[in-house]
Amino acid sequence: MRSLPLALAALLAFGSFSPAAAADPAPKIEETARRLFKAHADSVITVRATVALTMAAGDSPSQSRDQTVEEFGTVVTADGLVVVAASSIDPATAADGRTVNMRGSQVKLTVTSEVKEARFIMPDGSEIPAVVVYKDRDLNLAYLRPEPGAEEAKDAKFVPIVLSATQKLGVLDEVVVLSRLDKAMGRTACVECDAVRAILEKPRAYYSIHISTTGLPIFGNTGNFAGFITTRFGSASDNGGISMSPVVLPAAEVVKSIEQAKTKPAVAPTAKPVEAKK
């Protein structure tokens, strides 16, 4: 008569490990990467900007110059709203008001910068005039739109990333990063896999991964948006200096900022963009 309980126990054990009871395995990161690359490779574009920069250290005379930069940006709406790391096109974000050590003395930097001209370099190589519409210096994010009335923008197709579902990450979670190669490599779309190596808690939450190129979106293993690579600034030492560390701003913060930027219309290039209130 002991065979009945043993058979029952075996049946229950089998049921507890049946496929229906087991949790669905996480998708392989390579599969997620291929899927994202196929659907959203064109969500990363190049932003070229000519920036007027004026800087003074302490009581020294100010110096002014123009510089042209090329940085990556991520398309976040179908009508062409693009987010970049603000410091990549607005050096004042990083340096203005900071104290540095010069010739043994602590001096305060006064820095102003303004985007004089900007263009989106689209995946097909075409260029679209763009204007800065919103800066969130606290998060080091800036947003651009096609210039109002630009003929080049009429037939342009923007491929936004999906923001309706996001993913929170933990240490060693695998991620997918959409990117592009540089100009010498034809700005060809590319994709990489990485992992979260640390989570910073102060002054706000950031993820740290190995990839350091700013302006790129990252996604979790489910394929949901997980964050945006930007730069965190701080003091390099007690003697002054500026430290710059690439970090991933979590999706929740990025999405809130994007919602604010969506309300800002494109204005004439001579008008100054709206800045977030501190």
- Residue 202: pLDDT band (50, 70, 90) is confident
Euclidean distance between the first and the last CA atom of the chain, given in angstroms as a whole number: 77
For residue 62, pLDDT over 90 is answered with: no
The predicted pLDDT at position 206 comes to 97
- Considering only CA atoms, give the Rg of the chain: 23
117 Cβ contact list (under 8 Å, min separation 6): 49, 50, 129, 269
The predicted pLDDT at position 51 comes to 87
Report the pLDDT averaged over residues 116-136.
Answer: 95
Identify whether 203 is preceded by a cis peptide bond (ω within 30 of 0): yes
CB 192 within 8 A of CB 217: no
The predicted pLDDT at position 275 comes to 67
CB 268 within 8 A of CB 129: no
The predicted pLDDT at position 48 comes to 96
For residues 265 and 62, which has the higher predicted lDDT (pLDDT)? 265
Q: Which two tokens stand for residue 31?
A: 């599969």
Element (H, E) at 236: none
Lowest mean pLDDT among 66-75, 89-98, 175-184, 219-228: 89-98
Question: For the segment 173-201, what is each residue's pLDDT rounded down to a tens digit?
Answer: 999 999 999 999 999 999 999 999 999 99
Distance of alpha carbon 81 from alpha carbon 128, whole angstroms? 12
Residue 249: CB atoms within 10 A of its CB come to 23
Lowest mean pLDDT among 1-10, 60-69, 88-97, 223-232: 1-10
Residue 258: CB atoms within 10 A of its CB come to 22
Distance of alpha carbon 120 from alpha carbon 45, whole angstroms? 7
For residue 7, pLDDT over 60 is answered with: no
Report the pLDDT averaged over residues 62-79.
Answer: 90
Domain region containing 181: 27-267
For residue 84, pLDDT over 80 is answered with: yes
For residue 103, pLDDT over 80 is answered with: no
Q: Which two tokens stand for residue 235?
A: 């003091």
Element (H, E) at 252: helix 251-262
* Percentage of residues in the chain having pLDDT higher than 90: 59
In a domain, 176, yes or no: yes
In a domain, 15, yes or no: no
Q: Give the number of domains in the chain.
A: 1
In a domain, 263, yes or no: yes
86 three-state secondary structure: helix
In a domain, 47, yes or no: yes
What's the pTM?
0.82
Report the pLDDT averaged over residues 206-213.
Answer: 96
Lowest mean pLDDT among 47-56, 153-162, 171-180, 202-211: 47-56
The predicted pLDDT at position 239 comes to 58
249 three-state secondary structure: strand
For residues 51 and 185, which has the higher predicted lDDT (pLDDT)? 185
In a domain, 146, yes or no: yes
In a domain, 145, yes or no: yes
Q: Which two tokens stand for residue 38?
A: 């196929």
In a domain, 33, yes or no: yes
For residues 125 and 91, which has the higher predicted lDDT (pLDDT)? 125
> Which CATH number fits the domain that encloses residue 103?
2.40.10.120
Distance of alpha carbon 69 from alpha carbon 50, whole angstroms? 7
Average of per-residue pLDDT values in the chain: 84
Burial class (CB in 10 A: 0-12, 13-18, 19+), 85: buried
In a domain, 87, yes or no: yes
- Residue 41: pLDDT band (50, 70, 90) is very high
The predicted pLDDT at position 240 comes to 57
Question: For the segment 149-162, what is each residue's pLDDT rounded down to a tens digit?
Answer: 899 999 899 999 99
